[in-house]
Amino acid sequence: MPGDLLETLDLDGRTVTADALHTVKATAELIHARSGHFLFPVKENRRALFDALNTLPLPSAPVAASRIDTSHGRITRRTIQVLPAPPGLPFPHVNQVWLIERYVTDAAGRHLSAAAQLGVASHTPEQATPAQIAAFNQRHWAIESLHWIRYTCYREDASRVRTRNGPRVLASIRNLAINALRLAGRCDITEATRWASRNMTDPSPSSDSHHGLETPVPVQVTAHIVAARG
């Protein structure tokens, strides 16, 4: 369990990031007691907290930091708006609340996607600026993207193979495919896999295939720690 893992780590002055499944009071209390900081996203699975943040005037707050990234033929613009935590927030040790928005277009300026995420941070403004909060968030998703490839692109959780060594063998085959693409010079694993799936004979419907590449990514169950002194 995440709590057992966190108990073994030196969290003094470090920032712990996790997905929304781990946005729970007990985890926040543990991190705070061990002199660490947390940065958690908030989704509808924490309804009271989500509703409290969703009523705040975060969308009208000034954009505190923004960043534009260009890679894989896409242009991604990320913005963050931050407010002090309001009194009575149903979550402990929160000092700042945030809204991160992400807009993706292709190189020609055509809209591809947009996403927004609410979240909480235990840092005071002196301990983490909006730009630093945004960087923590982006570094967390850099880790999550490794799992996204397996869970969404390769549909690992959709596999119906559950017995004996089957899951382990299929995991090894997925790793082989991913690493083969990297050795071939393809860093854009998702796009390379989609290209391969379009240019190969369709596998049997009962096999562990690449169909349904747009399946929503499931919630992670593993917390990640981003080491950051300060």
pLDDT digits (tens, 9 = 90+) for 149-178: 766 677 776 777 778 888 788 878 877 877
Answering whether pTM is above 0.75, one says: no
Residue 172 maps to a domain: no
Residue 184 maps to a domain: no
Asked if pLDDT for residue 134 goes beyond 60, the answer is yes
Residue 85 maps to a domain: yes
Residue-wise pLDDT tens digits, 72-92: 678 999 999 999 999 999 999
Strand 37-42 relative to strand 15-17: parallel, antiparallel, unpaired?
parallel
| Whole-number percent of the chain with pLDDT over 70 | 74
Residue 39 maps to a domain: yes
Residue 144 maps to a domain: no
Residue 41 maps to a domain: yes
Residue-wise pLDDT tens digits, 176-201: 877 787 787 776 666 767 766 666 55
Domain range for 19: 2-130+219-226
Strand 37-42 relative to strand 65-71: parallel, antiparallel, unpaired?
unpaired
Residue 153 maps to a domain: no
In the chain the beta strands, taken as DSSP E runs, fall at: 15-17, 37-42, 65-71, 74-84, 96-106, 111-121, 224-226
Residue 67 maps to a domain: yes
Cα torsion angle, 72, 39, 132, 54, sign: positive
Count structural domains, the chain: 1
pLDDT band at 26 (very low <50, low <70, confident <90, very high): very high
Question: CA nearest 186: which of 107, 105, 72?
Answer: 72
